[in-house]
Amino acid sequence: MKVQPRTLSGFMELLPREQLIMERIMQTLRETYSSYGFTPLDTPVIEASEVLLAKGGGETEKQIYRFTKGDSDLSLRFDLTVPLAKYVALHYGSLTFPFRRYQIGKVYRGERAQRGRFREFYQADIDIIGDGKLDVTNEAEIPAIIYQTFSRLGLQRFRILVNNRKILNGFYAILNLTEQSGDIMRTVDKLDKIGAEKVAGLLTEELGLSPAAAEKIMQFISINGTNAEVLAELDRYTGKNELFDAGRAELETVVKYLSAFGVPEEYFAVDLTIARGLDYYTGTVYETAMLDHPEIGSICSGGRYDNLAEYYTNKVLPGVGISIGLTRLFYVLNEQKMLNTEAAGASADVLILPMTPDLAPAISLASRLRELGIRVQLYTEKKKFNAKMNYADRQGIPYVIFLGDDEIAAKLVSCKDMATGEQTKLDFDQTYMRIVKGLEQRQSAAVISAQK
């Protein structure tokens, strides 16, 4: 009796060529994050439930994979932030602050299964944690890291949207609407979907604001223009509320260092409608929009918070962080046919087909190429020539080398470029140079391509 093999719904399992691209995306993230001095972190997938759920779960609690093993009450992590808080609180004495870590790991949420929704998915997070204090320049660095990350992946039409919770909270305090500010922000958040007129209507009808207050809010959130223009507009509100002024100063710092950080102005915008749902953000907040795909929502979000680990420790640990929902992003890019399978999805650079019974010369050739950094697969199955070429083709391998008695005697190598069909018979060095040149061209292509 055979068991029907299957993979659980809501669990992404990629075919090899797709997985190669996912791997290259992860490698780009690791390299980019490392280049800013973030260290990798790896925490267990399973934690004690009382530790993981210290904060209480709210909405997420129902989704958590929770079970017992022996007499332990265990849960699978549902994000990478709670494990980070635990880690920093637990290892506080062994860490140096600011502690900059990245973590790319799987998290689990038992959501209702639905196309494009995942129960097991990768998050790719970076956070900078201070001990007691954390300078605002760290908040200015984050958009630079977001910009570098997506640019290196090849994404072109995106924009990093930035706001500051102090500006929002200060503004609502000026209007004496502090208590309703949560509801107001949630309503304003619908702006993209329902338009300004309907938002204004909800503010007066549902939230019971005066028409004057609603107008002031609509006026405020309609502020736009260049970063300098937005800051100038915000200046009209300064001097009325300390929190507002502090937020505006922080925003100015973030904007000021952008060009030094190498972020072109068109990739960045102050957007006063951004609030981020979570209550624990207290300063700069970030979202990242794909300009041609607003329906996808933010592909990288986060912000500044004042107290990472208050459920575990009395230490005050402020931080700033962002998160990419990697599995969902991969899914969307794949759906949009924006993944560059051609350039990134090859299992090897060269397939060697030995044409002699003695494999030693072919094996030596493979070893020599590998030492020079080429990924080489030796194909030794007893198949027809066409089947072998078909194998190279299906695996996306760009070069096939034939090594027969003639070549071995003449110290030459026959090499076919699978893309152009061109076949050469050159010595080792010349063949190697040709392959390296071709690979450089292929590898210069980014993993995300412009939309096809």
Residues 103-122 that bind its own copies (CB under 8 A): 106, 108, 110, 120
Spell out a b/e string for 4-41, using b for 16 or more CB atoms within 10 Å of the CB, else e.
eeeeeebebeeeebbebbbebbeebbeebbeebebeeb
Binding status of residue 228 toward its own copies by CB under 8 A: no
Q: Kindly tell me which residue out of 58, 96, 115, 384 binds its own copies, with binding defined by CB under 8 A.
A: 96
Give residues 151-210 in contact with its own copies (rule: CB under 8 A): none
Nearer to its own copies, 45 or 200 (CB): 45
Binding status of residue 428 toward its own copies by CB under 8 A: no
Stretch that binds its own copies, among 34-42, 205-213, 225-233, 285-293 (CB under 8 A): 34-42
Nearer to its own copies, 186 or 370 (CB): 370
Binding status of residue 441 toward its own copies by CB under 8 A: no
The amino acid at residue 36 is: Y
Give residues 283-322 in contact with its own copies (rule: CB under 8 A): 309, 311-314
Give residues 40-59 in contact with its own copies (rule: CB under 8 A): 40-48, 50-51, 54
Nearer to its own copies, 69 or 452 (CB): 69
Contacts with its own copies: how many residues (CB under 8 A)? 102
Supply the minimum distance, in Å, between the C-beta of residue 154 and its own copies: 17
Binding status of residue 395 toward its own copies by CB under 8 A: yes
Give residues 350-369 in contact with its own copies (rule: CB under 8 A): 351, 359-361, 363-364, 367
Binding status of residue 384 toward its own copies by CB under 8 A: no
Binding status of residue 95 toward its own copies by CB under 8 A: yes
CB 82 within 8 Å of CB 74? no
Binding status of residue 264 toward its own copies by CB under 8 A: no
CA distance 247 to 424: 65
Q: Kindly tell me which residue out of 174, 257, 342, 438 binds its own copies, with binding defined by CB under 8 A.
A: 257
Residue with tokens 């190598």: 413
